Amino acid sequence: MQIYLPIAEMPVNIFLIIGLGAAVGFLSGMFGVGGGFILTPFLMFLGIPPAVAVATQSAQIVASSVQGVIAHWRKGSVDFKMGGVLLGGGVVGSIAGIQVFNALKAAGQADLFISLSYVIFLGSVGGLMFWESLQAVRHGGSNVGGVKREPGGHYWVHGWPLKMRFQRSKLYISAIPPAILGFLIGVLSVIMGVGGGFILVPAMIYFLRMPTSIVVGTSLYQIIFVAAFSTFLHAVTNHTVDAILATLLILGGVIGVQFGLRFGARLRSEQMRLFLAILVLGICARLGLDLVLTPSDTFSVTIEGAE
């Protein structure tokens, strides 16, 4: 069954879009990622203009992450304080990201630099995570929390000032590392045009040493604001949020999120880390192949707008 999209100005198959929304919602509910990095290329493959795809999927992410956060909040597994610090860093980071982006563009080779650093970054994060979680799964890791903490262990960040107590995450650390992390994710989001959930989640697990169960809800919490801001900005500046496409994606998304939440709750934390590592490596492989494979058309054409 086909339905015409008023902003994309083309028809799509209703069930295909609902199914796509469900699949991305599942990942979102399970891992605490937005899922834009999968949805956007898929929508573009269906012929939806890139600007509409990017803007509209962010509306779905708003719905999915609100739903996910509420479910996690009921279980007490959202660290709002940590989310707030990350978000604060993120706002500053997005502003800085625009400067970095323009500087890279002016220097030329921006595309090459961004793609390469992205692939290397994702590859190493995914690889390390894969190795660590595989070991943990093999040894039947019994910790219900996050990465195993050495008893009374101190990390380098413990000496930093501005210590804050993050009760939910069972952490008493300086506010600077999470703020820096938020900042970096903000810079990346602007440069890559993605929400950054799939980088934020591993970073919270391994750098901040938050319990895996708290990470998903907290990541979704900060994604709500990133996605809401992005939806609003695209609607105002480019008029590219397609209400009908968004409705269909959300319809599938809410069902997918629910399944993702339940599936995620049943997984042990090292199993979840293993699946997430596979997902991150998958994204890395896709980006890497895009760089190396000979494109079917070496030219790409983007419509800037009506004259």
Partner 1 sequence: MKFRAAFFAASTALALGPLTARGEDLAAGISRDTVEITSNFTGTDVVVFGAIESETGEALPATEPRDVVVVIRSDKPYTVTVRQKERVGPIWVNQNMRRFAGVPGFYFVASTRPLKEIANADMLGQLEVGLDHLALGPAPGAIGGPRDYREAIVRAKMRAGLYGEHQGGVSFLSGSLFRTTVALPANVPAGNLKVLVYVFSHGQVSSSNSMTLFIDKTGVERRLSDFARNDPVFYGAAAVLLAAFAGFLASLAFRERQ
Decide: is 64 part of the binding site for partner 1 (CB under 8 A): yes
Decide: is 53 part of the binding site for partner 1 (CB under 8 A): no
69/226 Cα distance (integer angstroms): 14
Task: Identify the residue among 40, 67, 94, 218 touching partner 1 (CB under 8 A).
Answer: 67
Decide: is 115 part of the binding site for partner 1 (CB under 8 A): yes
Decide: is 60 part of the binding site for partner 1 (CB under 8 A): yes
Decide: is 120 part of the binding site for partner 1 (CB under 8 A): no
109/113 Cα distance (integer angstroms): 6
Decide: is 219 part of the binding site for partner 1 (CB under 8 A): no
Q: Which of residues 181-210 bind partner 1 (CB under 8 A)?
A: none
Q: By C-beta, is 161 or 305 nearer to partner 1? A: 305
At residue 275, what is the residue type?
Answer: F
Find the shortest distance in angstroms from Cβ 161 to partner 1.
36
Task: Identify the residue among 23, 38, 191, 257 touching partner 1 (CB under 8 A).
Answer: 257
Find the shortest distance in angstroms from Cβ 77 to partner 1.
12
Task: Identify the residue among 104, 116, 157, 285 touching partner 1 (CB under 8 A).
Answer: 116
Decide: is 142 part of the binding site for partner 1 (CB under 8 A): no
Find the shortest distance in angstroms from Cβ 208 to partner 1.
26
Is residue 144 exposed (0-12), middle (13-18) or buried (19+ Cβ within 10 Å)? exposed
Q: By C-beta, is 278 or 289 nearer to partner 1? A: 289
236/248 Cα distance (integer angstroms): 21
Query: Per the structure block, which two tokens stand in for 63?
Result: 């719905």
127/204 Cα distance (integer angstroms): 16
Decide: is 104 part of the binding site for partner 1 (CB under 8 A): no
Contacts with partner 1, 271-300, as mask; x by CB under 8 A? -------------------xxxxxx-xxxx
Cβ proximity of 78 and 214 under 8 Å:
yes
* Alpha-carbon distances, residue 281 vs 126, 130, 278, 288 (angstroms): 5, 9, 5, 10
27/36 Cα distance (integer angstroms): 11
Task: Identify the residue among 203, 205, 216, 224 touching partner 1 (CB under 8 A).
Answer: 224
Q: By C-beta, is 21 or 186 nearer to partner 1? A: 21
228/225 Cα distance (integer angstroms): 5
Decide: is 57 part of the binding site for partner 1 (CB under 8 A): no
At residue 38, what is the residue type?
Answer: I
Q: Which residues partner with 13 through β-bridges?
A: 2
- Contact stretch for partner 1 (CB under 8 A) within 197-205, 207-215, 256-264, 270-278: 256-264
